[in-house]
Structure 1
């Protein structure tokens, strides 16, 4: 009767295979967790609702430009015609995430702002009545004003607007201009110093990194243009609570533009991103 001799060398191929399998599984899990998912598929507006919608299948002043695979604001409207503001809002709420999109200004402007700088906005932590213009939210401005334009009524990509008198955030600033070297203080409007927009007709890349109620970073074409901290909401009885989450919205505000490549990556609350 022959004897079976067991050797440790016989384990090596099996152990190596197990190690490879485990590492591969971990990498796949990590990769899946890090993937962005589209909020707009380039074909339909499913998953969104418009403030000015009149019913199912109606998205107000928003439509799909299939050639550009983009959301088209005021498509087909006559230059200078009277138009209404509108807001396209996600069906779901989000809390901790990175959101990326691209936008491009087109030529048309509409009454009552036919001679104004172009203006729109990316809203986040949207709350309350979604049919309201504008819903309670925090806004990263989208605009085409010069970065050094000092007037309060300017429309510059990266500016902050707080939409709701019961909402509060803090921003480091000097005389209302974003200044990362200062301590954050409360304010409803802050201006970015950086003018890094690409000109009308070119695509701009926007990004916001949102960490619940703690912090949000505004990024335009790879540059950090503003940061905000400590988002809270104040109830009628004076009770203060963190503003942790909300819908995401895209504004239509009297100027024709395109939004595309809208995608999001969520992450756990205890993660840096």
Structure 2
């Protein structure tokens, strides 16, 4: 009887610990305006009449695709799970979620220093290294010859995902979940585990969404902080 009670208490303790590891989730946009975000769009520096590529439309956060740039959170985040629900409005194209973003325009005078989680149709969940790096199993298979790896210029910065054919048809909603915990980044697309990187060279930063040529609608961008649990002594 005592043994069963002990097992039950241990199980309850694990459940409570797991629940305690997550804080309250919050939406990163309010459906009305871009409060909490700022845009970095190089073309807008040159042309005062250039269109702002990030808008709120019918309660959705929309990346119009052009001119190219990034919508960046004002806040810096660390240890979290991010859920993004998105769809390409008219035709498949390119976009991305950047995690651990920092120095703006660090690559090609456009991309902030970061790890990009690709959203491009048929490639959702790939990693792109932008002046930061990350490690995955089978690196040479998924990234190419080691001597060509790098985080800038013409180096091999793309790390292919593990699973193919996970996106929904164009016009349907996709769900991407990105978990950043310590030096690891994990990615799921529509419930399928598609990538897992370790030894990331950065573990905190802003979150950014791209305008990269294609119109993309976002109906959900929700962040759930994760509290790292430390082993108890005893």
Q: TM-score range by the shorter chain?
A: 0.7 to 0.9
Contact 1:173-1:190 at 8 Å conserved across structures: no
Would you tell me which structure has more strand in proportion to its own residues? 1
Match of 2:26 in 1: 37
- 2:119 aligned to 123, 139, 142, which one? 142
Change (3 A) 1:267 1:227: same
Change (3 A) 1:211 1:59: farther
- 1:95 aligned to 78, 85, 91, which one? 78
Change (3 A) 1:270 1:31: closer
How far 1:247 moved relative to its partner?
A: 0.2
Q: Distance in 2 between matches of 1:104 and 1:124?
A: 19
Match of 1:148 in 2: none
Cα RMSD for the two superposed structures: 3.0
Match of 1:197 in 2: 167
Question: RCO higher in 1 or 2 (8 Å CA, sep ≥ 6)?
Answer: 2
Q: Distance in 2 between matches of 1:126 and 1:174?
A: 23
Q: What secondary structure sits across from 1:143 in the alignment?
A: coil
Change (3 A) 1:130 1:44: farther
Q: Does 2:188 match 1:219? A: yes
Q: What secondary structure sits across from 2:164 in the alignment?
A: coil
Q: What secondary structure sits across from 1:205 in the alignment?
A: strand
After the TM superposition, which parts of structure 1 deviate over 6 Å for at least 4 consecutive aligned residues? none
5+ residue gaps, structure 1, are 1-26, 76-82, 109-116, 146-155, 179-184, 233-242
How far 1:269 moved relative to its partner?
A: 3.0
How far 1:72 moved relative to its partner?
A: 1.3
Q: What secondary structure sits across from 1:157 in the alignment?
A: coil
5+ residue gaps, structure 2, are 1-15, 144-148, 151-155
Contact 1:39-1:263 at 8 Å conserved across structures: yes
Change (3 A) 1:271 1:256: farther
Match of 2:198 in 1: 229
Q: Does 2:61 match 1:71? A: yes
Shifted more, 201-210 versus 131-140: the winner is 131-140
Q: Distance in 2 between matches of 1:93 and 1:203?
A: 27
Match of 1:5 in 2: none
Q: Distance in 1 between matches of 2:200 and 2:139?
A: 20
- 2:136 aligned to 171, 191, 198, which one? 171
Q: Distance in 2 between matches of 1:262 and 1:51?
A: 19
Q: Distance in 1 between matches of 2:26 and 2:181?
A: 18
Q: How many residues align?
A: 197
